[in-house]
Structure 1
């Protein structure tokens, strides 16, 4: 049932009234959370931004879910990037010394090579991911949306007894407010 619910939410997001850039930046902010270690304090700030600014929160959740496996797969690359920034580049040593002597920086965990590398990489990818997702949403809405909504499979699936039964069961189990 999770797969059907997930697919339904993606289709609902694609057919929503939200602008493509709202969806794109929501997905990109969710990607920042997914690409960095979850226990990092900066993720609370990103989650707050996701809730406060005018972006798609659903797309943010989708970005977290879809980009988490990529974050785990790229941990080695992120760790090497963080090691490069913290240790190997001698020119940055005075900056890091001054930065880490500030009282609040102790709690950021940016002295961890994985945290720093993944944060830098995810911030560098923030705008490209947002533009790519916004482009994909625009492309879907202009060319594929009408085709999919008219397809026999979509009409059969949305009217099938299994779908109707699943939707009723889901509403019964989780309440009709969902």
Structure 2
């Protein structure tokens, strides 16, 4: 019974947070994005994140928290659009007869976004080593030459990257 009361209180807290701050957040996002539709979408996504995190009742500075969550969503939006633009530019260079269907394009883009999120948690040098070995197919020796480090350092960076990938996969 206490769970139902807790859920009701949590929903009431979220409803109050939404009512009191949704308009402000949408305006704040519209100023930064210059796009009402994107601002409305990201405002909704922000409140979905708050709902999933179950933090609506414990916020001491709700606007600061909402702005922080929304900033992360804006960064994700720009990153996704940049990656999509790069992918579409690469596709434009291929002959049309090799162009994937819209469904396959969407699947590839989703995969690219997942890989981007995965690599985002790596340091710059570790990411560079990982991509050289995994994507470019370079040997450890060639990678060491390209990056300007020892083969031992390449092994350490690659091990770090692979451990990072495994930990994220488990999560």
Q: Into which bin does the TM-score normalised by the smaller protein fall?
A: under 0.3
TM-score (norm 2): 0.23
Structure of greater relative contact order (alpha carbons < 8 Å, 6+ residues apart): 1
Question: What TM-score results when the alignment is normalised by the length of structure 1?
Answer: 0.22
- Structure label with greater radius of gyration: 2
